[in-house]
Structure 1
Amino acid sequence: MSTASPANQTQAGEKLLRVMFFTLILSVMNATMFNVALPSISEEFHLSPSQVSWIVTGYIIVYAIGSVTYGKLADTYRLKDLLTFGLFFFALGSIVGLMATEFWMVITGRILQSMGASVIPATGMLIPVRYFSPEKRGRALGTTTAGLALGTAIGPIVAGFVTSLASWRFLFCLSLLVLLTLPFFRKYLDDAKGHAKKTDLLGGGLMAGTIAFLLLAVTNGTWTPMFIGAILLVLFIWRIRSVDHPFIQPALFRNKQYTYGILIAFLSTGLSFGIPFITPLMLSNLNHLAPAVIGFIMFPGALTASLLGKTGGKIADGKGNAQLIYTAVILLFISFSSLSLVAGLSPLIVMIFLVFGNVGQTFMQIAMSNLVSRTLPKEQAGVGMGLLMMMNFISGATATTIISKMLDFGTSSLQFNPFLLYRPALIYSNIFAVLAFMVIVVCTIFYFRLGRGVKRTV
């Protein structure tokens, strides 16, 4: 890989972490800002909710495919070249969106943005793996996760001000700020790359098709894309088992620690997505708060999670990933079970318990990323971490769809939390109760499959 001395490599890694922190803030803001602008875009182009939702759906699909594709390519090509390529497409998409006069131009701009932006989470995972020893990797991952949390916190607030004071098109201008980071990446990233390999384009295409159709099935709740995605998945598995240089090595999935790590990360990410998805709906429908006020209610939790990201990394480095995971489980359980109790009451009370949930979500992400990274050999780090990011996107889409279906059923005669204080909030209380129960399930799976062997070594 790199010929630099360990000291110089660590020094470069520290500088890259600071650049990556800023980049991730902008990347996450770009992903979340347009959710706030959907009503304005829908009104301007006279679109139905299902039509305008493609601004989000299309972005997620391409982002998921890109995250694993860039991860795969990072095992062969220089990371600085992939970043240059990705940020070029990101800028191109921003310019197209800024000049959009038709809805198809908005979609094109978002897809081009997603094609480029998906290099950023792959890079955010690989820099800690490549530039820091396993003993120091937790703190590095804590820094990158803090950037994700801060971007999540300020994205909707910034978008609200921009769309209120100007036009939603200026959101594309804000996205261009990420280009400021490119010279620093070019300077501090080394020239390390893997051995040139033949790229299995057919296998990559089958994988992309599988992800696209499965995500379409999840986000739209239809069976036809699910059926097509299942067929493509079978073909993809056949392909990687039958060629000499497959897009993804089957040996990756024979790594039991990695496989269980991916499974636990998938489940825990789905739980975490419940917080930013259901909370705005609850505050709007039960407390009748405006979007801007909802953003400020959710802000302290995301900000606290960002500030404690490095602390979570230090816990992982000093006491082990298992300790951080159990801490995250306790925080998430406190958050979900308490929100199940106080749903519909004062937003200030909800704000307090959102802090527990956001910090637990951040700690869990740090621990699982660190744990999974330690199960991978260097030659599989890129694609392995890319698959982790891809599964996170699929998990989030699945979780939001399931929660949406639960909300569609409306009121229920069942009451999972017997101590609920506000009866009209029953459906939200039940959802938070289910999430609290799933936290226990995730903890149980981790303990019996990885926890007893993970301790301080993984």
Structure 2
Amino acid sequence: MKNTTTSLDETDEVKIKNPKALLTALCFVLMMSVMNGTMFNIAIPDIAKTFQLMPSEVSWVMTGYIMVYAVGALMYGKLADYYPFKTLITIGLTIFAIGSLFGFFAQSYLMVLIARVIQASGGAMLPALVFLAPIRYFPKERGKVLGIISSVMAFASGVGPIVGGFIAGFLDWKFLFLTSACIIIMLPFLRKNLPDEKKREAHVDFIGAFFVAGTIATLLIGITMESLISIGGMLFFLTCFFVRSKYVEYPFIPPHFFKNKKFVATIITSFFGVACLFGLMFTLPIMLRDVHELTTMQIGLVLFPGAICAAIIGQFGGRLVDSKGSRFVLFLSMMILSTGFFVISISTGLHPIVLSLSIILAYMCFPLVQASTADLLANILPNKETGVGMGVFNLMNFVAGSLSGAIIGKVLDIYSPEKSFNPFAQKGGSAAYSDVFLMFVFIVLGAYLFFRTFYENKKRSLEA
């Protein structure tokens, strides 16, 4: 009988039993993972009420989850260079389901926090492996599949608040944990359709991983809690990481990654693009509650058309990556994104229906930015380092989302102008929000100019 086991070193396309079934299962588990985060955003007030918590205390439901999730995404990406997907996805989904069930039966706030940390340590596997799957299993349709995956992320981000509001409103916030546990039903389908692969000899620098985790944790704590001590801790861990990477034989993140101008330019461009997109998702619900006094369900309905359009455009954008190239799609998406932010900056004081239509341009760029930058990285990285490279990509995206929310929250706390800097902005008590979206316009344009400056050189390389 022919041996169908493949090696992780192979550069040819790995044959899988049912590509459509595998892609469907991957998209389902990714959607559940993303929704798990956005659903709990809605439940934060209910959790605070249940355990009589201050806002700073209950915020750890999200902060703790994000810290573990961000570092975990990098760790799973690193492990994916050595271990079979089938093994990693089994471990990750099992841990995630255990954490979800533990949270459903939680009797104290501490148990809720422990449940969220367990969820994150398992769920972090999903973005790491799902973004690697197109590179490893669908190389001929990589852009198309990356577009589909990115559109699923955008759709889940938009529909999550609606589902979360419905479950928490009609049942109880603990049922959000039970809903998340349903992700385990996809494990048999994933194991059936994932190929058997051989394990490579592993060289994982766990001390280096600890320094990365310390850097991310202290950075997020420092921003969230305005702690200079934590910022100092971040600088300490970051220094330790770079020193160790210079002298250890197998560093957690190879130093040559940071010497590759194309890799650095793509990562930084993605960081600022995603920071603005997550900033949009963070700011809109606050603005709709503050300025327009909408309920949670109404806010979800305002965001829903954008999420639907993102899901549709993602598939088209993925095909465009394959046909026109990822640099062209990145240019197109950044130009549309900056235009979309400008339109939203003008529309902040208008009727919610107008706002719902105005956010479509920006929302539809979510899958385009992610698909194009992920495809660029796939072309830059050698096969044996795609795992850790995409892990860095996911890590930076999660950090971007966390920092943008924290920074924008602080800006809105202290910034309350009478008139927006945007001369076309409509009146309605929303000048601060208008200026935030106007700031996004300049950040996106600056990020793309940075990309053009450092990615492209005089000896133009072949189109990525």
TM-score range (shorter-chain normalised) is over 0.9
1:169-195 deviations in Å (ceiling 9; x for gaps)? 111111111111111221222233452
1:114-154 deviations in Å (ceiling 9; x for gaps)? 00000000111110110122x52110101111221221122
> Aligned match of 2:314 in 301, 309, 325?
309
Aligned to 2:108: 102
Aligned to 1:449: 454
Aligned to 2:268: 263
**2:73 maps to 1:67:** yes
**2:351 maps to 1:351:** no
Q: Equivalences for 1:358-369 in 2 at 5 Å?
A: 358-369=363-374
Q: Equivalences for 1:9-408 in 2 at 5 Å?
A: 9=15, 12-133=18-139, 135-193=140-198, 195-408=200-413
Aligned to 2:3: none
Aligned residues: 457
Alpha-carbon distance in 2 for matches of 1:445, 1:333: 15
Is contact 2:150–2:366 with CA below 8 Å preserved after alignment? no
Decide which moves more: 295-304 or 402-411.
402-411
Is contact 1:21–1:146 with CA below 8 Å preserved after alignment? no
Decide which moves more: 433-442 or 214-223.
214-223
Alpha-carbon distance in 2 for matches of 1:333, 1:155: 25
The DSSP-based 3-state class of the residue aligned with 2:359 is helix
Identity of aligned residues (%): 35
1:254-291 deviations in Å (ceiling 9; x for gaps)? 22211111111111111111211111111111111111
Is contact 1:320–1:456 with CA below 8 Å preserved after alignment? no
Alpha-carbon distance in 1 for matches of 2:395, 2:22: 23
Q: CA-atom RMSD, angstroms?
A: 1.9
Specify every segment of 5 or more residues in structure 2 that has no aligned partner in the other structure, as ranges.
1-6
Matched to 1:165, the amino acid is F
Alpha-carbon distance in 2 for matches of 1:405, 1:4: 48
The DSSP-based 3-state class of the residue aligned with 1:168 is coil
Is contact 2:48–2:58 with CA below 8 Å preserved after alignment? yes
Q: Does the C-alpha gap of structure 1 residues 9 and 454 become closer, same or farther in structure 2, counting only changes over 3 Å?
A: farther
Is contact 1:10–1:132 with CA below 8 Å preserved after alignment? no
Is contact 2:268–2:447 with CA below 8 Å preserved after alignment? no
Alpha-carbon distance in 2 for matches of 1:12, 1:257: 35
The DSSP-based 3-state class of the residue aligned with 1:245 is coil
The DSSP-based 3-state class of the residue aligned with 2:249 is coil
Decide which moves more: 384-393 or 448-457.
448-457
The DSSP-based 3-state class of the residue aligned with 2:364 is helix
1:303-351 deviations in Å (ceiling 9; x for gaps)? 1101211101011110111221122122212211111112121111111
Q: Does the C-alpha gap of structure 1 residues 238 and 418 become closer, same or farther in structure 2, counting only changes over 3 Å?
A: same
Q: Does the C-alpha gap of structure 1 residues 136 and 195 become closer, same or farther in structure 2, counting only changes over 3 Å?
A: same
Q: Does the C-alpha gap of structure 1 residues 341 and 210 become closer, same or farther in structure 2, counting only changes over 3 Å?
A: same
Matched to 2:209, the amino acid is G
TM-score, with structure 2 as normaliser: 0.94
Give the C-alpha shift of residue 448 in structure 1: 2.2
Alpha-carbon distance in 2 for matches of 1:343, 1:48: 30
Is contact 1:138–1:317 with CA below 8 Å preserved after alignment? yes
Matched to 2:119, the amino acid is Q
The DSSP-based 3-state class of the residue aligned with 2:235 is helix
Alpha-carbon distance in 2 for matches of 1:263, 1:410: 27
Q: Does the C-alpha gap of structure 1 residues 337 and 7 become closer, same or farther in structure 2, counting only changes over 3 Å?
A: closer
The DSSP-based 3-state class of the residue aligned with 1:9 is coil
Give the C-alpha shift of residue 113 in structure 1: 0.5
